[in-house]
Chain A
Amino acid sequence: MLPRLRKLFLYLIVLLIVVWTIAPFLWLIISSFSYQIDLVSIPLQWIPKRITLDNYQQLFLYKGNFNVNAALFTSSITNSMVIAFTTTLLAIVLGVLAAYALARVKFPGSNYYMIFMMGAQMIPPIAIVIPLYVILRKLGLYDTRWGIILVYQSFVLPLVIWLMQSYFATIPSEIEDAARIDGCNRIQALVRVILPLSGPGLVSVIVFAFIASWNEYLYAFIYSSVDAKTLPVLIGEFSTKLGLEYLKIAAAGVLASLPPIILALIFQKYLIKGLTAGAVKG
């Protein structure tokens, strides 16, 4: 009886978690398929009486034809994809190496390095936005994908380094010593032993790095105008002098949240125990 009750309790908690996580987003989805007049009525209807594709259509069509909006939308999704992917790649490569060195190798100044990386996190983007603007203009990187990719390293790299460093720290050094006794050099030990062991950690850091780049707003907004405009910036433009165009934002927001979720669903299976089971024995 007791284990059954426990199981029930577990499912209940899981349900609670799911509801907490999804509820607001569900409301966003419902809104995106509603007419504004229906959403503004009192009392609120949870299930709308009628649904419409207008809000989605507005993102792409005008009077039945593809208009400029469609081109803008697709180009901004592409930009976001490419930028997020490349940023993540670059940050993971550079960051994992650095994190490994910090966790394992004692070299002079490693403490200062950590503090420096932390310091980088503590400088608010809005404070350096304008000097960085000058740098990008001078380097000809304004409104380019590479410009934004470079700028994104400022917050993704320290994040990767910090997080990976803490995951590496949880792996006992005996494993690595064993590998090196077997003849691996440092780098090989890193790649063949440490990385797989910190697999779940690495995967989650990759996912977060990607999403952080995908969703970043301030830098993308200031450093792009036409060519490198990303999706969050495009969505941020759905406003008028009077206020936000909520329904358009909802529709675009639903679409914008899909790629990260799909990514997470694909990668979540790496967050399993199997990789580490039996790794440490006595």
Chain B
Amino acid sequence: MSKTEQPTEIRTKPFRRLFSGEGWFGFMLTTPALVAVLIVVFVPFINSFWLSFQRYDLARPQNDAFIGLGNYIKLLGDPRYLGSLKASATFSLVSVVFEIVLGIGIAMVLNKSFKGQGFVRGLMILPWAMPSVVNAAMWKWIFNADYGALNALVTQLGIVQDYQIWLANPVASMSLLILANVWKETPFTAILVLAALQTVPEDLYESARVDGASAWQQFFLITLPLIAPVVMVVGLLQSIWGFHHPFELAYIVTGGGPYSTTELIPLRVYAQTFRSLRFGYGASIAYLTSLLLLFPALAYIRYSYKKVLEY
């Protein structure tokens, strides 16, 4: 073959000899990424993981000691932590359900042709494109009890009579946080599913229509299975992010209130690490949560890959 891509040629030439084993090839391609992630994730992780087995309170260094599972045991009985776990679980899982349903729905719509299609597709990314601080500040202002846009809107539309103090009510607060999160994150799902929809060949639908399949049947039997891998991955990612990422949103909009009912896990880690200066305990909060997430995530991956293979 003629010289097409110089860089790839240069990279593969020395290893042509090793081509006999596909394994080597696989290693070559995947190692650079591995090394990068090792340095910036794994190494610091080891350090802070080690810290999580110690009492390491910077304000009281005289008490520092190795305490094994002490932090973790304390966590399991810490009502603030358990509360935040519950809050994060609610927040993340409810968010993801909406993100996926809305995301797939929006993607299906955007997949059809209509005037201004390109513009709408580009515009879709807007919520995701906003810096998280701006997003949080915006929603805080919208949810303001006295001069917020939400109150103005719902009273003008007649949905409620008086201005409500939304953020003073635990259920309303959590719902509004989820609303803000879904608004921000749905484009991620929508656009990735839209891209996946592009790989579904048109003729599949044609032959199904010829066979007399309804729109719903087409969706469930053709579309869904084919976009399933992407949906699975995106869904898992969004769930994990829902646990570990929405720091600014919760911190700025509710501060964890009312009375810690929307206190998500990142807020606990931050409070313990940066405000109470308990580095060991703060690390253990993070890792216990990750551990708890790991099992369902692993099971989910295994299940989803099985399902995908079935198709």
Contacts and interface: CB of A to CB of B under 8 A. Distances in A.
Q: Do A and B come from one complex?
A: yes
B196 A31 contact: no
B123 A95 contact: no
Interface stretch (A47-55, A62-70, A273-281): A273-281
Contacts of B121: 264, 268, 271
Contact of A271 (B25, B106, B195): B195
B128 A101 contact: no
Given A126-B269, A170-B229, A257-B126, A204 B12 contact: no
B140 interface: yes
B247 A126 contact: yes
Given A208-B192, A250-B137, A122 B290 contact: yes
B126 A21 contact: yes
Interface in B205-258: 226-227, 229-230, 232-234, 236-237, 240, 243-245, 247-248, 252
A205 B126 CA distance: 16
Contacts of B42: 120
B76 interface: no
Contacts of A116: 34, 37
A246 B137 contact: yes
Interface string B73-113: 00000000000000000000000000000000010011010
A211 B129 contact: yes
Contact of A217 (B36, B140, B248): B248
A205 B233 CA distance: 13
Contacts of B139: 24
A154 B198 contact: no
A230 B287 CA distance: 29
A199 B132 CA distance: 28
A83 to B, nearest CB: 14
A140 interface: no
Contacts of A218: 247
B47 interface: yes
A67 B33 CA distance: 42
A131 B43 contact: yes
B26 A101 contact: yes
A261 B201 contact: no
A8 B291 CA distance: 49
A162 B233 contact: yes
Q: Which of B25, B134, B252 has the most CB of A within 10 A?
A: B134
9 contacts: A42-B147, A107-B24, A130-B44, A162-B237, A163-B233, A169-B308, A205-B192, A264-B125, A276-B201
Among all A-B residue pairs, the 6 with the closest Cβ atoms: A107-B26, A253-B134, A127-B286, A265-B122, A260-B129, A131-B44
Interface of A: 7, 10-11, 13-14, 17-18, 20-22, 24-25, 27-28, 31, 39-44, 46, 90, 94-95, 97-98, 100-102, 105-108, 110, 113-128, 130-132, 134-135, 150-151, 153-154, 157-159, 161-163, 165-167, 169-171, 183-188, 191-192, 197-201, 203-205, 207-208, 211, 214-215, 217-218, 231-232, 235-236, 244, 246, 249-250, 252-253, 256-257, 260-261, 264-269, 271-273, 275-277, 279-280
